[in-house]
Amino acid sequence: MSTPESPARDHHRSSGDATPPPADDGFRAKAREFLARHAPGPMEGLDAAEQLRIAKRFQAAAYDAGLIGITWPAEYGGQGLTAAEQQAYDEEAAHHDLPTGVFMVGMGMCGPTLLDLGTHEQKARYVPPLLRGDEIWCQLFSEPGAGSDVASLQTRAVRDGDEWVVNGQKVWTSGAQFADFGALLARTDPDVPKHRGITMFIVDMHSPGVTVRPLRDMTGRAPFNEVYFDDVRLPADAVIGEVGGGWLAALTMLGHERVSIGGSVRRGSDPLAFDNLVDLARRRDRADDPVVRDRLAELYAHERALALFNTKLRQEAEAGASPGARGSIAKLAGAELLWRAVDTAGLIAGPALTSWEEGDAAAEEMAVAINGTPASSIAGGSNQVQRNIIGERLLGLPKEPQVDRDVPFRELKVGTQRTP
């Protein structure tokens, strides 16, 4: 199991009031009016292509209205506003079921990493269309043989003149079937220990040699993909950060990813959100049950605490402070919050959660949400990985033993065992 080291940018600020000053009422009113006019209606029954078209149209309209990239730098297409405006927009957006999921990887992970480590030319080229939804991004980290140990990746990138040639396979890649670009981790030097010989690249997902194959999960949907690279050629300026500096780039992106996953806004349409579980209890005549009430109160407290913690991280990010290892707290707390919500739903509805009348869309969405909950404990690094990071980097506990840490990758078997 990987236990990433602390990146150089991992620093902390003193704690304080997690609630930002209120946004200008005019901004909130503008957001509310925009959402009332432009939020798409239900998209059940629409095929994937039509849903994507609607999502891109909404994202572009929101961007043009000044409601996307609210705290991102104006130099690269953002609005240059504060966390208060972002929070105001999030609170208004939570009342709608917006089609923003396909942009989550770009907005929450790839874009922030480009801002941290990319060149001026990369930021100017890629960030504005990413924000507007004109170009969709995916993250190409996980591999079949690496598990939670990202540093054991075996996809190779070999320098050939002014280009890099990539061969290998990635898996569990969210949204790759829609992506125009990806942030790829590849091994560029097998003669050094596994954490040192990695580089991050920008990949055009429409390049010759890139193959995307959707994977269907237990919800019956296909949000993930396998991605194959067969002699894919990348220009020299596709490197994000430094050649051989991919592990630092990975830690940077994983930090953003964990904040993004843990800090996802609980939409009003989320069947596992507190408000909707209260409605479920009322419909089931369980709202006066003291055990149910106690469980709902506990859920509300956790949901609110996580929201405030993420507000604090966002405020600090606005001030230039990386979330660092505290992103693992957000990610772990978000995963545990979902499990707590599933347990509460089970307490309220019992066996009724397992069957419903055909055409009951609300019941089906609840089933999909419950079946998707186990993924929350894996995506972005398992709960065990997050606990290791919190223990080692925030609490100062001893590091987990790693027998392969100083062994050249070429001498390892499947990345983690020394070749006999």
CA distances in angstroms from 142 to 78, 124, 173, 254, 332, listed in the order given: 30, 28, 7, 12, 19
225, 380, 382 from 178: Cα distances, Å: 10, 20, 25
CATH number of the domain bearing residue 102: 1.10.540.10
Largest CA distance in the chain: 72
Would 211 be classed as within a structural domain? yes
Residue with tokens 């369980």: 286
Residue 420 is assigned to a structural domain of this protein = no
- Residue 366 and residue 280 in one domain: yes
Q: What is the mean pLDDT of residues 106-114?
A: 94
Is the separation of the CB atoms in 385 and 3 below 8 Å? Answer: yes
Q: Is residue 237 domain-shared with residue 318, that is, in the same domain? A: no
**Confidence band for 134, pLDDT divided at 50, 70 and 90:** very high
**Spatial distance between the Cα atoms of 147 and 310, rounded to a whole number of angstroms:** 28
Residue 108 maps to a domain: yes
175 and 53 fall within a common domain: no
Contact 272, 338 (CB under 8 A): yes
Q: How far apart are CA 242 and CA 248, in angstroms?
A: 9
Does one domain contain both 225 and 323? no
**What letter would DSSP give residue 201?**
E
Residues 288 and 306 in one domain: yes
301 and 346 part of one domain: yes
| Model confidence at 290: pLDDT above 90 | yes
pLDDT higher at 413 or 122: 122
Q: What is the pLDDT of residues 291-324, one digit of tens each?
A: 999 999 999 999 999 888 888 887 777 677 777 7
How many residues are listed for the chain in this entry? 420
Helix or strand holding residue 239 (H, E): strand 239-240
| Catalytic (active-site) positions | 257
Instruction: Give the domain extent around 298.
Output: 265-395
Answer yes or no: do 233 and 355 share one domain.
Answer: no
Domain boundary among 87, 114, 134: 134
Residue 165 sits in the same domain as residue 239: yes
**In 10 A of CB 32, how many CB atoms?**
16
Where residue 310 sits, what CATH number does that domain have?
Answer: 1.20.140.10
Q: Are residues 144 and 86 in the same domain?
A: no
Domain-embedded: residue 419: no
pLDDT of residue 10 exceeding 60:
no
pLDDT single digits (tens) 147-206: 778 888 999 999 999 999 999 999 989 899 999 999 999 999 999 998 999 999 999 999
Let me know whether 235 and 337 are in one domain: no
| pLDDT bucket at 262, cuts 50 / 70 / 90 | low
Q: Which range (8-12, 57-61, 179-183) has the least confidence?
A: 8-12
Give the mean model confidence (pLDDT) for residues 136-141: 96
Query: Could you tell me the pLDDT band of residue 261, with boundaries at 50, 70 and 90?
Result: low
| Domain boundary, last residue among 243, 275, 297 | 243
Q: Do 129 and 187 have their domain in common?
A: no
3-state secondary structure of 113: helix
Bridge pairing between strands 181-187 and 137-140: parallel
How many domains does the chain fold into?
3
Q: What is the pLDDT of residue 16?
A: 40
Average pLDDT over residues 138-151: 86
Q: What are the tens digits of pLDDT across the range 313-354? A: 877 776 777 777 888 898 899 999 999 999 999 999 988 887
Check pLDDT > 80 for residue 58: yes
- Asked, for residue 249, whether it belongs to a domain, the answer is no
The confidence score (pLDDT) of residue 331 equals: 87
What pLDDT, on a 0 to 100 scale, did the predictor assign at position 3? 34
Is 291 inside any structural domain?
Answer: yes
Cα distance between residue 109 and residue 264, in whole Å: 12
Residue ending a domain, among 109, 134, 159, is 134
What's the mean pLDDT when you consider all of the chain? 86
Answer yes or no: is 248 within a domain.
no
129 & 156 share domain:
no
Is 229 within a domain? yes
Query: For residue 155, what is the domain's CATH number?
Result: 2.40.110.10
